[in-house]
Amino acid sequence: MMVLGIDTSCDDTSASVMESGRVLSNVVFSQIEHSKYGGVVPELASRDHIRNILPVTREALREAVVSLKDIDGIGVTYGPGLVGSLLIGMSFAKSVSLALEIPFVGVNHLEAHIFSLFMGRKINFPLIVLIVSGGHTELVLVEGEGEYRVLGSTLDDACGEAFDKVAGMLGFPYPGGGEVEKIAEKGERDAIDFPRAKLKGYDFSFSGLKTAVLYHIRKKPPSEKDIPDIAASFQEACVDSLVFPTLALSDRLNIRTIGVCGGVARNKRLRKKLNERAKGCKTFFPPPQFCMDNGAMVAGCAEFHLERGEFSPLTLKVNPSLTLPTQSP
């Protein structure tokens, strides 16, 4: 089966062609004009998706050396995300489905991130998955194909959002999470004792950490040589806040397979510390190019549903607040 995957959930326009689990192309156009506003402007994002969706799809087809007539089905993110952005991808995918008379499936963006772990390899069930991105931080028990239980989530900010906010405090343009990681390599991780939220269960909280960094900077405006230490200490607090609940859940359930996906899964310090601490566990991360929002993970998730005959009606609406479909404990 050859599937076209479309993702326009936020500010990246992406299209991918996948055939029987093999990625033939994955094209991502990242919008840069939002940096001057310090965050994504939904109206501008929607307009850029309108401009980019067709050329991005054409490029994905060209790189895969296929044409639209070769496509057997199409998948598109229908939530969660920015409603205007989602509508562009949804409208485009429905149009292609109608024109080619091929099946169409709406894909849950969070489930697609989980599917990014499985591209090109087999992972045995059950496993614990940490979804960590700019908009979400969740701990999920994956008991089988399409079988999910959310056992922990952020009570306030997502981890990726905290990275971007602290980047702004340190003078880096949006999105600055990657810059924080880069400058942190030059700093001392224990230079500043930033707080780690101590919560019952397996939930997360980053608002207190973010505020602590803000107060530290206000109390003592950093010189250029102080910034690496602030970045490294903040990053270490974030990583600890992710790693320890994940390992605690692994111990409680006696599940020794752990996957991490989402944009923050690219973070080298997170990968290193989890691998160091997860004694006796197998850890999995997507390749860096599949951590960020991309059409390939949407195509992979869509292929799974299409092969099971799980099609979506053309009346399907976008859902900006969509959650992961979960099973009762």
pLDDT of residue 39: 74
Q: Confirm or deny that 132 is annotated as ligand binding.
A: yes
Dist. CA 177–CA 273, nearest whole Å: 18
N-terminal to C-terminal alpha carbon distance within the chain: 34
| Mean pLDDT of all residues in 11-34 | 91
- The correct answer on CATH 3.30.420.40 for the domain covering 2-114+290-307 is yes
- Locate the domains of the chain by residue range: 2-114+290-307, 123-285
SS (H, E, C) 257-271: EEEEECHHHHCHHHH
pLDDT at 328 over 60: no
Q: Confirm or deny that 190 is annotated as ligand binding.
A: no
Q: What is the pLDDT of residues 278-315, one digit of tens each?
A: 999 999 999 999 999 999 999 999 999 999 999 999 99
Q: Confirm or deny that 134 is annotated as ligand binding.
A: yes
pLDDT of residue 164: 93
pLDDT of residue 120: 87
pLDDT of residue 232: 98
Q: Confirm or deny that 181 is annotated as ligand binding.
A: yes
Q: Confirm or deny that 152 is annotated as ligand binding.
A: no
Q: Confirm or deny that 49 is annotated as ligand binding.
A: no
| Mean pLDDT of all residues in 111-139 | 96
pLDDT of residue 215: 97
Q: Which residue has the higher pLDDT, 289 or 329?
A: 289
Q: Confirm or deny that 267 is annotated as ligand binding.
A: yes
Q: How confident is the model at residue 327 (pLDDT cuts 50, 70, 90)?
A: low
- The answer to whether 312 and 306 have CB atoms below 8 angstroms apart is no
pLDDT of residue 36: 64
| pTM, rounded to two decimals | 0.94
DSSP element (H, E) containing 78: strand 73-79
Percent of the chain with pLDDT over 70: 97
Tell me the pLDDT of the chain averaged across its residues: 95
- How many helices (H) and strands (E) in the chain? 9, 10
Dist. CA 262–CA 246, nearest whole Å: 15
Q: Confirm or deny that 16 is annotated as ligand binding.
A: no
80 upstream amide cis, omega within 30 of 0: yes
pLDDT of residue 55: 98
Q: What is the pLDDT of residues 184-207, one digit of tens each?
A: 999 999 999 999 998 989 999 999
| Mean pLDDT of all residues in 37-64 | 92
DSSP element (H, E) containing 251: helix 227-253
Q: What is the pLDDT of residues 240-280, one digit of tens each?
A: 999 999 999 999 999 999 999 999 999 999 999 999 999 99
| Mean pLDDT of all residues in 55-64 | 98
CATH number of 123-285: 3.30.420.40
Paired residues of 273 in beta bridges: none
2-114+290-307 and 123-285 in the same fold: yes
